[in-house]
């Protein structure tokens, strides 16, 4: 936390110092500290798929997966808006055109679905940047820069900004935790290996509460069987042969 505050002050402290003391205190309590303290919701979203849904061995994507990747990226970033708040209203909701959208990944096997979703998620959440950062301290510096960007409510969201990515939890504790979910940054939720009723329950809750989300949420439902086509307003992405 101390290092984050130092980086934040070096980046925008001069600007915050111009604010009257009362306004500065309000900004710190209303936005800066909650943003710095926000953590990944590991109760509602898991870094690994549900038990019984094993991840395939990492390897290069095939031609069909690479084509689906492009479609996933277009869907994910569409309607995210610029993510800015007016500089005089740090507590306002950022500008986001579509706070919640859903995509169904269909066709192909479960293994190819999972391999694509895992690779796409780790690219989107910046894991590839951490792995090439050049050591522990370089990785820490990268994390601090991300937190600094999170705090700057007037900043325009960039395509390369890391997202939060996780697998939807299907156990009772995870389903209950989802009811308290509020995205701390743009978020990709992957539904893999779950009964349709569990995914639909999550969609109903997210849909009912999306208007209070400060950041876009994208739910990707891995559905090789194609049985979920009745989901309203969902983007269908086909995974072609490799």
For the chain, percent of residues with pLDDT exceeding 90: 52
Radius of gyration, CA atoms only, the chain: 19
Q: What angle do CA 99, 105, 108 make, to 5 degrees?
A: 170
Please name every residue paired with 45 in a beta bridge, in sequence order, or none if there are none.
Answer: 168
pLDDT at residue 9 greater than cutoff 80: no
CATH number 3.40.50 given to 43-125+163-238: yes
Using the structure block, give the residue that is written with the tokens 């601090």: 144
43-70 per-position pLDDT tens digit: 999 998 877 776 777 788 999 999 999 9
Lowest mean pLDDT among 47-51, 119-123, 153-157, 182-186: 47-51
Strand duo 187-191 + 217-222: pairing: parallel
Q: List, in order, residues 6 or more apart from 67 with CB less than 8 Å away.
A: 240
Q: What is the pLDDT of residue 48?
A: 85
E strand residue ranges, the chain: 45-46, 100-106, 164-168, 187-191, 217-222, 235-238
Confidence of residue 79 (pLDDT cuts 50, 70, 90): very high
Domain boundaries, the chain: 1-37+135-158, 43-125+163-238
> What is the distance, to the nearest Å, from the Cα of residue 166 to the centroid of all Cα atoms in its chain?
8
């Amino acid at each position: 936390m101390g290092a984050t505050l130092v980086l934040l002050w070096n980046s925008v402290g001069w600007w915050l110092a111009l604010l009257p003391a009362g306004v500065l205190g309000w900004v710190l309590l209303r936005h800066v500290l909650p943003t710095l303290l926000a953590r990944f919701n590991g109760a509602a979203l898991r870094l690994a798929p549900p038990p019984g849904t094993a991840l395939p061995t990492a390897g290069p994507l095939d031609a069909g997966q690479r084509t689906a990747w492009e479609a996933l990226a277009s869907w994910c970033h569409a309607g995210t808006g610029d993510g800015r708040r007016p500089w005089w209203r740090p507590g306002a909701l950022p500008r986001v055109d579509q706070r919640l959208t859903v995509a169904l990944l269909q066709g192909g096997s479960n293994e190819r679905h999972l391999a694509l979703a895992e690779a796409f998620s780790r690219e989107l959440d910046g894991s590839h940047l951490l792995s090439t950062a050049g050591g522990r301290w370089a990785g820490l510096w990268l994390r601090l820069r991300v937190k600094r960007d999170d705090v700057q409510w007037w900043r325009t969201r960039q395509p390369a900004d890391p997202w939060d990515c996780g697998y939807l939890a299907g156990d009772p504790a995870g389903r209950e935790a989802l009811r308290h979910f509020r995205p701390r940054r743009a978020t990709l939720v992957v539904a893999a290996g779950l009964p349709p009723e569990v995914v639909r329950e999550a969609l109903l809750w997210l849909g009912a509460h999306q208007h209070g989300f400060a950041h876009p949420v994208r739910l990707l439902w891995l559905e090789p069987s194609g049985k979920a086509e009745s989901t309203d307003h969902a983007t269908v992405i086909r995974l072609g042969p490799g």
